[in-house]
Structure 1
Amino acid sequence: MAAAQGRFSDGAEGTDSAKETSVPIPFRRAVDGLKKARLRPGIEIDPVRPPQRLAPYAYALEAAVVAGDEDLADGRLILLHDPAGHEAWHGTFRLVTLVRAELEPEMAADPLLPEVCWSWLTGALEARGLSYGEASGTVTRASSHYFGGLAERRPATQIEIRASWTPREGVGGAPDTAAHLSAWCELLCQIAGLEPVAPQDPGVVSLPQRRGPHHP
């Protein structure tokens, strides 16, 4: 991945079609918005090959929140575009995401964890004044316990958020993808246990922050 400098590398193409002149102008503008977004330090992010069958046009990127040599959280964001519109989206664009992280025991035990994690996504979008619709998703908490030759490892809990939403289109028919990417990275940082940098919605709740990698 690119160096964690708060800006994403264009060292790889997310989709071959993005280089074709036949690509719709709104999609080109949306992809350009992703490429030009400036992000907070500590995020490593790169374009990757997107799924080929979800929409006529797609662009994808993957990211990780990095502290030293440790990845605190990782995820993928996919931009989909169907010029003809999509009944389920109620629009021509859709953002689809998967983010995941391993949690500290005190965070994993919180009974409100799923609701809080979902509020991080909606709160990050609303804190930036972004208009969106048809948001849906799941928050999954999975615990692992180790036995036999792995018995010395402490139990671990991973949280996974799968979500999608329709970004409202702006001038020129393209949504403000730079702002949506910034909001998504804020979600990634919060699930990693970092303090938010954008003003939070009053309804957004914070969980205990993650301890450093060398904390006993």
Structure 2
Amino acid sequence: MASAQGHLADSADNADGEEVPPAFRQAVETLGDARLRPEMEIEPSRPPRRLAPFAHALEAAVVQDGEDLADGRLVLLHDPAGHDAWHGTFRLVTLVRAELEPEMAADPLLPEVCWSWLTGAFEARGVAYGEPSGTVTLAGSHYFGGLADRTPATQIEIRASWTPREGRDGVPDTAAHLTAWCELLCQIGGLPPANGTDAAVVTLPQRRGPERR
């Protein structure tokens, strides 16, 4: 695996131009220490402006042999005053998407399996987190008329958020959270776990992912 490039931490952002707190700046800089699989392509993106006083966003895709297998967005939020719903001063928010083969989409246990990949990625790495919440959505497309020659497609989408536990210095290990999140992307894209030894982990077959938007 390769470490994340330094440009991941190029901009710790604040919507009102306020001075960036040292804890948030350090949390953003720590993202660059993440160990990423070679299939990952990741770069900073414009963060949302109204979710928290400070935010930093990343976009990523799982690419193998020139084909996108999955993509997603991860946003690090920070409110120095704390947030009751977060039970902390930091929050991570994500959207992950991939296209499924029709037979896989028919599995009634698929949403539970995909959610377990997120929590399992944290637990496998000893990543401390709390207050997880989210949804797993399946959306199908069937084509008619002039598009009838297209194969029916189903996309899975995971929207989730969680609170990264802060260390003694008040800063969470964002590199560990980013590494775990990238492993979720790889699994939903059909790649085996990074260690390749966990027989209990269910993976989806490789498939064409969603087009980059």
Q: Same fold (TM over 0.5)?
A: yes
Of the three residues 28, 40, 47, the one matched with 1:31 is 28
CA distance in 2, matches of 1:5, 1:157: 32
Shift of 1:8: 3.7
Of the three residues 177, 180, 194, the one matched with 1:197 is 194
Specify the alignment match of 2:67 in structure 1.
70
Cα pair distance change 1:210/1:177, threshold 3 Å: same
Shift of 1:207: 3.8
Write the deviation string for residues 10-57 of structure 1: whole angstroms up to 9, x where unpaired: 178445449x89211111111011122221111100001100111011
Shift of 1:106: 2.6
- Paired residues in the alignment total 208
Specify the alignment match of 2:88 in structure 1.
91
TM-score w.r.t. the length of structure 1 is 0.88
CA contact (8 A) 1:195 1:209 kept: no
CA distance in 1, matches of 2:191, 2:41: 15
Quote the RMSD (CA, aligned, Å).
2.5
Q: Which runs of 5+ in 1 are unaligned?
A: none
- The percent of aligned pairs where both chains have the same amino acid is 71
> Secondary structure of the equivalent of 1:55?
coil
> Secondary structure of the equivalent of 2:190?
coil
CA distance in 2, matches of 1:107, 1:166: 31
Specify the alignment match of 2:46 in structure 1.
49
1:119-198, aligned counterparts within 5 Å? Answer: 119-198=116-195
Find out whether 1:209 has 2:167 as its counterpart: no
Q: Which runs of 5+ in 2 are unaligned?
A: none
> Secondary structure of the equivalent of 1:34?
helix
CA distance in 1, matches of 2:172, 2:196: 21
Specify the alignment match of 1:115 in structure 2.
112
The one-letter code of the counterpart of 1:206 is: V
Write the deviation string for residues 154-189 of structure 1: whole angstroms up to 9, x where unpaired: 100000000000000013111000000000000000
CA contact (8 A) 1:26 1:173 kept: yes
CA distance in 2, matches of 1:117, 1:180: 17
Specify the alignment match of 2:78 in structure 1.
81
CA distance in 1, matches of 2:8, 2:171: 24
Cα pair distance change 1:131/1:175, threshold 3 Å: same
Find out whether 1:104 has 2:101 as its counterpart: yes
CA distance in 2, matches of 1:86, 1:198: 36
TM-score w.r.t. the length of structure 2 is 0.89
